[in-house]
Chains A and B, each alone.
Chain A
Amino acid sequence: MKKSIIEKVWDRHVVYQEENKPDLLYIDLHYIHEVTSPQAFEGLREKGRKVRRPEKTFATMDHNVPTVNRYQITDEIARKQLTALEKNCTEFSIPLADLDSPEQGIVHVIGPELGLTKPGMTIVCGDSHTSTHGAFGTIAFGIGTSEVEHVFATQTLWQTKPKTLKLEINGELGSGVTAKDVILYVISKYGINFGTGHIIEYCGNVIRNMSMEERMTVCNMSIEGGARAGLVSPDETTFSYLKGRKHVSTGVDFEKDTKEWSALASDEGAVYDTEIVIDGSEISPMVSWGTNPGMASPIDGNVPKAGNDEAGEKSLQRALDYMGLTAGMSISDIPVQHVFIGSCTNSRIEDLRQAAEFVKGNRVIDGVRALVVPGSQSVKKQAEEEGLDKIFTEAGFEWRESGCSMCLGMNPDVVPAGEHCASTSNRNFEGRQGTGARTHLVSPAMAAAAAIHGRFVDIRKAGGSTETAELAF
């Protein structure tokens, strides 16, 4: 039978199957962080249980950590959570990339970077953006804290096999259109729950031509379309990214592994529960205007005039009230006071290069505060070696230490109430970046351009830095 990669990976991880029960699925890799793990460790202690496979578990500190003066954590409760993680990892022998480690960073940035994430794996983490790791041909999904505890104790989860959704993006992307725009376009077109109950397989020419970092951006936001997981069949791009990374095999073993990984790719003619085909050339640079990631328009578009139905109208009105926008206004008229380049969606080296290209030789406009938060210490180091930090700081950006930062504002990086932020993160929910904060999701290039202009501009009309500067006058 022809099988998709989703079925191949799933089937080889089923430990136990019985009618009227979900499958007992083996978990190859469990990432943890400080926010969703403490109660799970406490649960183990209460029952006298152990972590079954600590070596299949990897911890880091990312959600809470300050991005300046990171050792001076003034928030007492946040500090307690970080200390708890340290203590728990020691007690249960779990490897931890703490604040002193050169490997520290956002869990979904460092996992791939270290070569921990590998094709064919099942991966979980108490974080919904675990879908990021699907870029490597893994089944990777977010779980709650009870499930974290369950994986600690058993290295398995009871899971009902999700439906499969093939999302094919063909054609060519226009210039200035990035992976972020692709996924924002998909969600704005099909809604924030089109993927509920499904695992998405992204395929087609546009996905094939993407780098691993771009594929991660797409898979990362699968959850914003309702899908717990989204993945891409591994190919040469995957293998050359993995080659030479710390936890990846070498020499003959690597060749053997790549053979196995290649075999995971979906068979020609595999059958899916749902199929969607998109023409990549339809996609423009996107900007979210509302309070969920589906509420987004092309840069040359407008905020909608009216909802599709009564419920839609109500949601639209609520969103516009919160965002302080008027129905029908041009996207390019939305003012921007904050710019955040970072998060597990867009904080990797290619993202920073993309943004730096627009920043080079320009200044952050007066009245805008702009932040770059690299996804990991290793991304930060590489960017500094390439001189990107200078480009950003000379233009007036703040250059920070790695962490989740302003994506969810659990650390001191927050957007004040009523102010607009061009953000390369993944969620524009009410209050996400701070109580009353108004988030607009965009690509790194669009965020960089917004920092220079104080509003959203069509980067297609401003190819590189010189043109951007001209556009400013």
Chain B
Amino acid sequence: MKPITVYKGKAAVLDRANVDTDQIIPKQFLKRIERTGFGEFLFYDWRFDEDGNEREDFELNQPQNKNAGILIAGENFGCGSSREHAPWSLQDYGFDIVIAPSFADIFQNNCLKNGMLPITLTKDKVSYLMNNAGNDQLTIDLREQTVIDNKGLSTSFDIHPYWKEMLLNGWDEISITLQYSPQIDEFEKSERPISTI
């Protein structure tokens, strides 16, 4: 996994609440058995019309939102299905960071497992960023836990220290957990009969 420390980049705005993972990556693209190549299908039904042409009225098709590495969205982003294809497609399209007033639990976890950073800010701060993001460069500093724009906004965000360390180092979680094998062995030895199939 690629570590995240400081990220400077452009932000795209998707001012919609409750964006579900069925929209992020529609089900017809879940049949692949690889982790890669999902970016071209991101928001497919919103991005493209029946003939496969870009819909002009969809936010991410507009010039100011192209080539951005940060996505700013409305509350409860990523609700619904647990499909990890959602963060895979966002990341493959170019988004490493998503900022929203709130995230659905499973989606948030799935981002963190892929070296993506979901940042929760208050509704007011998110709507400020939505209104001002435009062509601005945002600076996200994970070490300092700050979001800074070039108009004077500097705000901090919360992240669990465990995930902060994982992202800063780009660690593979399974390798870390395997170091706890003695504890898992021990637990399994003391397993109650109730815990078995």
Contacts and interface: CB of A to CB of B under 8 A. Distances in A.
A20 B161 contact: yes
Contact of B105 (A21, A146, A196, A292): A196
A206 to B, nearest CB: 26
Interface stretch (A149-157, A332-340, A450-458): A149-157
Contact of B27 (A15, A228, A410): A410
Contacts of B20: 292, 427, 429
Contacts of A204: none
A35 B28 CA distance: 11
A36 interface: yes
B54 interface: no
Contact of A429 (B23, B75, B104, B188): B23
A152 to B, nearest CB: 9
B173 A150 contact: yes
Contacts of B197: 28-29, 55-56, 58, 116, 247
Given A193-B75, A435-B45, A410 B31 contact: yes
Contacts of A118: 194
B177 A77 contact: no
Contact of B178 (A38, A153, A228): A153
Nearest to A148: B84
B114 A146 contact: yes
Most buried by A among B76, B161, B177, B197: B197
Contacts of A252: none
A142 B106 contact: yes
Given A28-B195, A128-B80, A154-B178, A39 B23 contact: no
B32 interface: yes
A235 interface: no
B33 A154 contact: no
Given A15-B184, A144-B109, A160-B160, A192 B26 contact: no
Nearest to A292: B18
B183 interface: yes
B180 A15 contact: yes
A434 to B, nearest CB: 9
Contacts of A261: 194
B187 A15 contact: yes
A383 interface: no
A42 interface: yes
A77 B114 CA distance: 24
A20 B180 contact: no
A81 B31 contact: yes
A437 B104 CA distance: 24
Contacts of B160: 22, 160
Given A156-B177, A156-B184, A226 B26 contact: no
B193 A257 contact: yes
B91 interface: no
B153 interface: no
A419 interface: no
Given A35-B31, A38-B33, A409-B27, A193 B104 contact: yes
B81 interface: yes
A158 B162 contact: yes
A140 interface: no
Contacts of A28: 195-197
Contacts of B89: none
B174 A410 contact: no
Nearest to A431: B45
A121 B23 CA distance: 33
A149 B184 CA distance: 16
Nearest to A39: B35
A80 B28 CA distance: 14
26 contacts: A15-B183, A16-B183, A24-B180, A24-B184, A42-B35, A56-B197, A81-B31, A116-B197, A126-B84, A144-B109, A146-B84, A146-B113, A147-B109, A154-B178, A156-B184, A226-B105, A228-B105, A292-B20, A315-B18, A408-B27, A410-B27, A427-B20, A427-B22, A430-B23, A431-B22, A435-B26
Given A144-B106, A224-B80, 11 more contacts: A21-B161, A36-B84, A84-B33, A120-B195, A128-B80, A143-B106, A154-B181, A154-B184, A193-B104, A292-B79, A427-B80
Interface of A: 12-13, 15-16, 20-22, 24, 26, 28-29, 35-36, 38-39, 42, 47, 49, 52, 55-56, 58, 63-64, 75, 77-78, 80-81, 84, 116, 118-121, 126-128, 141-147, 149-150, 153-156, 158, 160, 192-193, 196-197, 223-224, 226, 228, 247, 253, 256-257, 260-261, 292, 311, 315, 318, 408-410, 427, 429-432, 435
6 tightest A-B contacts by CB? A144-B84, A146-B113, A38-B33, A144-B110, A142-B82, A77-B31
